[in-house]
C-alpha cells in the first residue's frame, strides 16, 4: 500500500496559503512569481487532492468555501514552519547554548586551552561545558563516529573527509630548572648532548628529531626516561637535572599559552642551536559540524586562545 507521503508536495501547501490569502489566482501567481495559468493549474490540482472547490466565483470575485476557510490558518502555519525548517540557521547567540563539547588533546594542549576556553565560556556561553579527552594511541575514528567534537594538536592521522585548520607554528626549546648546569651561558650542541634527557612519547620511543639533529654533528644524547605526557616530563625536569623539550613561540612571535605550564613550574626555556623541524598545532573536525553555529563558536574560541594576537584580524575557514 502506498504511503500518504509518497505524493506529498510542499509546494502545494505554499500555493494553498497564497490562494487562500489572496482569494485570487492572479494575485496568488504574482505573490509566488509564477504565471496565472500555472497557478490556475495548481488550483485545479489542489481541488482534486482536497476534493473541494476551495475558491468559487461570486460575481467578479472569488470566495472561499467553508473547507477553505477552515484550512486558511493551518495552511499559513504550515508555510511558516516550512520557512523556518528550510532557512539557514545564521548566527547563534552563545549565551543560549546548552552543550558539552569533547575535545581530544594532549595533556599540554589541554592544560594550555582549558583556562582560556573556560574563561570565554563563562563570559559568552555559560551553558557550555568542556570535556578534554586524552589522545588515542592511534588515529581513531572519534571524529567520524561523533565521540569527539574537535581534535587539537599535531594533526597527522585524519580520515579523508576531515576538515583541518592550522592554528600556530612552534619551535622546540630545552626546558631546564633554574639551577641546572645548562641554565647559565650559551647552550651548545655538545652541552645539550652531554645532559640527561626525559623524552615524551605515547608510543614509548626514546628517539626523535633532536637525535637526528645531534647525529648530524656526530653527537648522541642519553634519554633516561620516556613519559607519555609533557606535563609529567616538565615536572621531572623542574625537580632535577634533566632536560625536557618544551614548545615555544617562534622568534619575534607573541607568546603562546602552550609554554605557560613550563613557566609556572619555573623552567628556563633555552634556544636549541640545531635545525629542528617546526611543530604545527592545528584543529580537526568532522564536516558534519562545519555549519553548526555552536561548533563554530567553539572553533572561534580555540583560535582566540591559541593565537590571540591574530584571531581577531585573520579570517579563518569556518
Three cell numbers, residue 6: 509518497
Could you report the per-residue pLDDT of 102-120, keeping only the tens digit for each? 999 999 999 999 999 999 9
Could you report the per-residue pLDDT of 216-253, keeping only the tens digit for each? 999 999 999 999 999 999 999 999 999 999 999 998 88
The predicted structure's pLDDT at residue 136: 65
Three cell numbers, residue 36: 496565472
Q: Which residues of 91-114 are buried (b: 16+ CB within 10 A; e: fewer)?
A: eeebeebebebbbbbbbbbbbbbb
pTM of the model: 0.71
Could you report the per-residue pLDDT of 151-165, keeping only the tens digit for each? 999 887 777 888 999
**HSE-up of residue 233 (Cα within 13 Å, Cβ side):** 25
Q: What mean pLDDT, rounded, does the chain reach? A: 88
Helix H or strand E encompassing 90: none
pLDDT at 261 over 90: yes
Amino acid at each position: 500500500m502506498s504511503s500518504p507521503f509518497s505524493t506529498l508536495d510542499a509546494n502545494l501547501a505554499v500555493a494553498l496559503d497564497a490562494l487562500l490569502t489572496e482569494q485570487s489566482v492572479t494575485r496568488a501567481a504574482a505573490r509566488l512569481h509564477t504565471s496565472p495559468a500555472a497557478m490556475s493549474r495548481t488550483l485545479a490540482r489542489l481541488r482534486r487532492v482536497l476534493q473541494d472547490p476551495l475558491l468559487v466565483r461570486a460575481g467578479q470575485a472569488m470566495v472561499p468555501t467553508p473547507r477553505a476557510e477552515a484550512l486558511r490558518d493551518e495552511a499559513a502555519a504550515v508555510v511558516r514552519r516550512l520557512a523556518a525548517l528550510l532557512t539557514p540557521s545564521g548566527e547563534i547567540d552563545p549565551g543560549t547554548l546548552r552543550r558539552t563539547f569533547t575535545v581530544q588533546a594532549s595533556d599540554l594542549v589541554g592544560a594550555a586551552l582549558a583556562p582560556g576556553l573556560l574563561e570565554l565560556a563563562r563570559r559568552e556561553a555559560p551553558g557550555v561545558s568542556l570535556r578534554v579527552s586524552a589522545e588515542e594511541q592511534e588515529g581513531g575514528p572519534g571524529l567520524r563516529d561523533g565521540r569527539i567534537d574537535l581534535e587539537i594538536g599535531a594533526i597527522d592521522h585524519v580520515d579523508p573527509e576531515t576538515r583541518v585548520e592550522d592554528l600556530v607554528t612552534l619551535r622546540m626549546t630545552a626546558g631546564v630548572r633554574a639551577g641546572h648546569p645548562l641554565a647559565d651561558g650559551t647552550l651548545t650542541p655538545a652541552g645539550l648532548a652531554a645532559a640527561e634527557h626525559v623524552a615524551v612519547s605515547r608510543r614509548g620511543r626514546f628517539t626523535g628529531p633532536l637525535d637526528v639533529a645531534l647525529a648530524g654533528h656526530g653527537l648522541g644524547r642519553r634519554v633516561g626516561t620516556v613519559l607519555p605526557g609533557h606535563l609529567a616530563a616538565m615536572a621531572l625536569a623542574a625537580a632535577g637535572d634533566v632536560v625536557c623539550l618544551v614548545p615555544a613561540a617562534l622568534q619575534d612571535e607573541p607568546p603562546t599559552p602552550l609554554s605557560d605550564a613550563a613557566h609556572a613550574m619555573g623552567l628556563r626555556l633555552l634556544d636549541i642551536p640545531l635545525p629542528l623541524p617546526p611543530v604545527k598545532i592545528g584543529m580537526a573536525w568532522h564536516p558534519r559540524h562545519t555549519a553548526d553555529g555552536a561548533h563554530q563558536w567553539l572553533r572561534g574560541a580555540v583560535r582566540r586562545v591559541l593565537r590571540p594576537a591574530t584571531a581577531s584580524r585573520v579570517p579563518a575557514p569556518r
